[in-house]
Chain A
């Protein structure tokens, strides 16, 4: 979508630049790495390589730690964690009570805790209330339950509009709410981290907790969609 009269800042911050070949290959499920000489290394890539090399040479960082961090957030910590929390809350009323009283402790019961989730708050969607989470000032996000945020969450358009025109934002995600529903926007300005507890869809009474977790999407736990 290109709006000629507006600066399109949503595509990773670049003005109307085309999707790069690496993204297209990844979308096709092609796991072959792009050949080394397929495109010149970008300036940020060179600067990051330079910085990492210099700091490693000075003995200040260990590149293997960087490998571990990348691996953790690419493969181990992600929205499947939050989905398990939601499914447990749906299936177990006592757990849900603990989650609403002390979210940090309840989330830790399932093994999720720590960096950027030290102080959690769970906000519950009901037929009358729909919650939406944003960080207008930067990109604060509950990492232990949702992993790292998508680009759109961290970019100017979402951060500008979620707080002032949430319904148009929801519409962009295909979510329409009647005027009788209160949209509650949470701006993550301090160190509390918010997770939306979506409404449990009807007709799911006989599903196991595992099956319930499969229904829960990342976007529903940010609040831009319902399930």
Chain B
């Protein structure tokens, strides 16, 4: 498809959601204590290295999205739930971190295990 100036506004207003309209069972529920997997592929991932092995709590289930790890390599969308997971700053960064501050990271189902 050729992008022409006249269709730019509608293309921008529509966007390209990563949500997938598939029924996929979530492995976790809001309130679950989870532990981030030691997931460290050489290929694409949206799991930041600083989060591997950390313990958190599922705050929100955002629904079903394409999985970047496979989607980046033409291996399909492997649709799965994406969650907002809450971590304490101390859990992630150690004793020098604030005892009050928290991190909220968007984490895919495949990055997590029940703690």
Contact = CB atoms under 8 A, between A and B. Distances in A.
B5 A116 contact: no
Contacts of B62: 119, 190, 192
Nearest to A62: B4
Contacts of A185: 101-104
Contacts of B13: 113-115
A182 B106 contact: no
Interface string B12-50: 111111110000000000000000000000000011101
A166 B5 contact: no
Interface string A112-134: 01111111010000000000000
A72 B47 contact: no
B17 A184 contact: no
Contacts of A188: 106
A115 B15 contact: yes
Given A118-B19, A163-B50, A189 B107 contact: yes
A164 B50 contact: yes
Contacts, number: 116
A214 B109 CA distance: 41
Contacts of B46: 137, 189-190
Contacts of A167: 98, 101
A115 B17 CA distance: 8
B102 A118 contact: no
Nearest to B60: A121
Nearest to A113: B13
B104 A187 contact: yes
A63 to B, nearest CB: 9
Contacts of B92: 164
Nearest to A186: B104
Contacts of A118: 15-19
Contact of B2 (A59, A68, A69, A117): A59
A100 interface: no
B65, B93, B98: which has the most chain A beta carbons within 10 Å?
B98
B15 A62 contact: no
Contacts of B68: 190
B105 A187 contact: yes
Interface string A44-62: 0000000000000001111
Contact of A182 (B8, B84, B100): B100
Given A62-B2, A180-B100, A191-B18, 14 more contacts: A62-B4, A64-B5, A67-B5, A72-B9, A115-B12, A136-B50, A137-B46, A163-B103, A183-B102, A185-B101, A187-B106, A189-B47, A189-B106, A190-B65
Leading 5 A-B pairs by shortest Cβ distance:
A190-B106, A114-B15, A118-B17, A191-B18, A115-B15
Interface of B: 2-5, 8-9, 11-19, 46-48, 50, 62, 65, 68, 82, 84, 89, 92-93, 97-98, 100-108
30 contacts: A61-B2, A62-B2, A62-B4, A62-B5, A64-B5, A65-B3, A67-B5, A68-B9, A72-B8, A114-B14, A115-B12, A121-B84, A136-B48, A136-B50, A163-B103, A164-B89, A164-B92, A167-B98, A183-B100, A183-B101, A184-B101, A184-B102, A184-B104, A186-B105, A187-B104, A187-B106, A188-B106, A189-B105, A190-B62, A191-B18
